[in-house]
Chains A and B, each alone.
Chain A
Amino acid sequence: MTEAVLEVRDLRTRFAIHGASIEVVRGVDLAVAPGEVLGLIGESGSGKTVTGLSILRLAPENARVSARSIAVQGQDLQALSDAAFDELRGRRLAMIFQNPVGAFNPAKRVDWHLRQVVIRRQGQDAGWAEAARAALIGVGIPHPDRVLRLYPHQLSGGMAQRILIAMVLALEPDLIVADEPTTNLDNIVERQILALFRRLQGRLSAAFIFITHDMSIAAALCDRIAVMYAGRIVEVGPTAEVFARPRHPYTKGLVATALALKHKAERLKEIAGELPNLAAPPPGCLFAPRCAEVMARCRGEEPPALGPASHRVRCFRVEDA
């Protein structure tokens, strides 16, 4: 792996809610290389989105983010002031959001948004109209002139997401965090947007963190997969390997579910149980209460990241193999 665009060590995010402090992200390690797509996978509430927002320092006001390091191309972002960080966003870091329709200024037309992006990129709006048209064509919008005159409320979800992607790409950031960018879209549009991502993948040098709860999307799109459970990454490795030989019982469950869906199995094998209460986390492995392969040891101590550097797993079972 070449030098990482992003390297995160021991990221922790706490929320203060009604006096209680809940740690939602509990020591996440991540690294993404240029041009690489890292899939961050997990069920709702596993901390994927908060991880993305924390990296970009966009977490809500009641969140407390800490980390041993959050480095972009070797520069530790934690040392930056808020003002300096504002300068970084949109230049080196950018994010694509889940709800594209709500992402636009409702009072302004599409052309206004793209113009601001051009100004953000080059400091002035010279040639913005051309750049805007090119950006829209680049994300598969065939009639950009018509679309540029629309207001956000006149856009379909798929169209809005394409435009948002165009805006982010126009900024040419080094790292793009895409937070479930297709979850709120219907099936056909979802497939179109995923095809767009696949097409862009080859052309871009940016590193991608693709957050999703859908194993099959991750399989189709990502070079590596990081599986998140209850605020921790429980398994991370190359996509093909994780799919062929999932090591963590939780990953095994996700893969089995994805395969069952793919083959339209009559009965879905779901992972029974639910996420633990993070306000009062139980001791030991947080997946233990739902784990089919649980051992006595799992309930007492939390497994560290085990296995080779290319395929880490937080499970004591790995030692058995």
Chain B
Amino acid sequence: MPRAALYIAGRLAGALATIAVGALVVFFVMRAASGDPALAVLGENATPEAVAAFRAKHHLDAPLVAQFLIWLAGMLRGDFGLSLTIAGGIPIAQLMAARLPITAFVGLYAVVIAVLISLIMGTIAALRRGRAVDTVATSVAVLGISMPDFWLSYVLVFALALGWKLFPAYGFTSPVDSLAGALYSGFLPALAIAAPMAAVFARMLRTSLLETASREYVVVARSLGFSKPFIFRQYVFRNALIPYVTVIGLQIRYLLGGVVVIERIFGIQGLGSLAVDAAFARDYPTVQACTVVFLGIVLLVNVVVDLVCVALDPRRTL
């Protein structure tokens, strides 16, 4: 399909331009922060020679614009520069490659949990509108939206890890080592990220189902004698999915903020904790690289969600 290919190429070009602008902002904001990274890393008593060598190694002696262009050109080749602090200057690309699967796994795990919970809760609430189940589900959803994820994490840890000892309270097995281990140890963090999202998704699905159910085509379908389950599946649910998926796409950006916090709480060695640690250590290039990767993930997810929406809704074209 040449049109689809053209569309994806266009979106990728747009995403690259967005990333470039994002990189520019990140770079200059980081540089505007006070303090010399060389002194921060080497300590106040570093010899001038050591400081000079450090600056040359990390291109810190070049003019700012040149530094930015060097960084940008490097990223195009997949070279994100060297960490200022970790392992005496390990390539950041290598650091991120080890951590990206972990964060991607936890994030995806959270999305899957949120989608499953919301599909069930939203559908039940819509089908039992106004009854006790609906009231309970809607109230729980409001609670879910208003609970901060870090607070919820502690509640989950208290109840499910420390109380019932069902899940580990801390630590995470990488999916690269053991998928089962990752699913088990990642359940609590994923649930903590998923719960507020599930609440938003479920409410959206409920509203969307009720709105679709009142459409004229549902009355027409009934007049043709189609069965109730058939009408619910093929007319109501099918068409309610379109706004639902759109909302999921919009929520993904909040997911990343959740991942950063939750990784710290559960001691998960992902991109989020890398970014936070780097920020504390004034490891500017690492922070920059993580931010750019986060931006890339958000843009990628947006493209995927748009493609799913196009697949679901014939009125939308590429």
Q: Mark A residues whose CB is within 8 Å of B.
A: 56, 58, 86-91, 93-95, 97, 99, 102-109, 116-117, 120, 151, 153, 164, 167-168, 171
- Contacting residue for A120 out of B225, B312, B314, B315, CB 8 A: B225
A217 to chain B, nearest CB (A): 21
Contacts A102-B216, A102-B217, A153-B314; A108 near B224 (Cβ below 8 A): no
Inter-chain pairs besides A89-B225, A105-B234, 9 sampled, C-beta below 8 Å? A86-B227, A95-B220, A97-B220, A99-B216, A105-B217, A107-B242, A108-B234, A117-B224, A151-B315
Residues of B near A93 (CB, < 8 A) are: 223
Contacts A58-B222, A86-B227; A105 near B216 (Cβ below 8 A): no
Would you list which residues of chain B between 125 and 144 have a CB under 8 Å from chain A?
A: none
B224 touches A167 (CB 8 A): yes
Contacts A107-B238, A107-B314, A108-B234; A95 near B217 (Cβ below 8 A): no
A56 touches B223 (CB 8 A): yes
Would you list which residues of chain B between 214 and 236 have a CB under 8 Å from chain A?
A: 215-217, 219-228, 234-235
In Å, the complex CA distance between A167 and B219 comes to 15
Q: Mark B residues whose CB is within 8 Å of A.
A: 215-217, 219-228, 234-235, 238-239, 242, 312-315
In Å, the complex CA distance between A252 and B314 comes to 49
| Secondary structure of the B contact surface, majority rule | helix
In Å, the complex CA distance between A116 and B227 comes to 11
A171 touches B224 (CB 8 A): yes
B225 touches A88 (CB 8 A): yes
Closest to A88 in B: B225
A107 touches B313 (CB 8 A): yes
A183 to chain B, nearest CB (A): 14
Closest to B215 in A: A102
Q: Output the residue of A56, A106, A164, A168 with the most chain B CB within 10 A.
A: A106
B228 touches A106 (CB 8 A): no
In Å, the complex CA distance between A169 and B222 comes to 16
Contacts A102-B215, A153-B314; A90 near B239 (Cβ below 8 A): no
Residues of A near B227 (CB, < 8 A) are: 86
B254 to chain A, nearest CB (A): 28
9 smallest beta-carbon distances between A and B, as pairs? A90-B225, A89-B225, A103-B220, A95-B223, A151-B314, A102-B216, A90-B224, A153-B315, A107-B238
26 contacts between A and B (CB under 8 A): A58-B223, A86-B222, A86-B227, A86-B228, A87-B225, A89-B224, A90-B225, A93-B223, A97-B216, A99-B216, A102-B215, A104-B217, A105-B217, A105-B234, A105-B238, A106-B239, A106-B313, A107-B312, A107-B314, A116-B224, A116-B226, A117-B224, A120-B224, A151-B314, A153-B315, A168-B224
In Å, the complex CA distance between A88 and B233 comes to 21
A105 touches B221 (CB 8 A): yes
B226 touches A120 (CB 8 A): yes
Residues of B near A153 (CB, < 8 A) are: 314-315
B104 to chain A, nearest CB (A): 31
Contacts A86-B227, A151-B314, A153-B314; A103 near B222 (Cβ below 8 A): no
